[in-house]
Amino acid sequence: MRNSDRQEARTESDRVLQTVIFSIMGDNMELYKQFNDNLTFKKWLSDIVFNATYNKEGAPLEEKYRMEPQSYLNV
């Protein structure tokens, strides 16, 4: 993350994630729909991305963040 402040880093992380989701919309419409229509999935994905990238110690991603997205999908 280029911002050291946690809140600024979170804002940047969310912005970049949204940009990536929009850029792959044509290849994965289901992911795009879940991200935009399912707030639980959007929060889960945003949290995973932020926690994986905002890690000052450089430690590996903790197991508690390795969750299967299927439990968050509206199917």
Q: Please report, for the chain, the start and end positions of each structural domain, with discontinuous segments joined by +.
A: 6-72
Segment 12-59, tens digit of pLDDT: 999 999 999 999 988 999 999 999 999 999 999 999 999 888 866 655
Tell me the pLDDT band of 1, cut-offs 50, 70 and 90.
Answer: very low
> Which residues have CB under 8 Å from 9's CB, separation 6+?
1, 3, 50, 54
At CA 49, angle to CA 46 and CA 3, rounded to 5? 100
Is 4 a residue whose pLDDT tops 70? no
pLDDT confidence of residue 20: 95
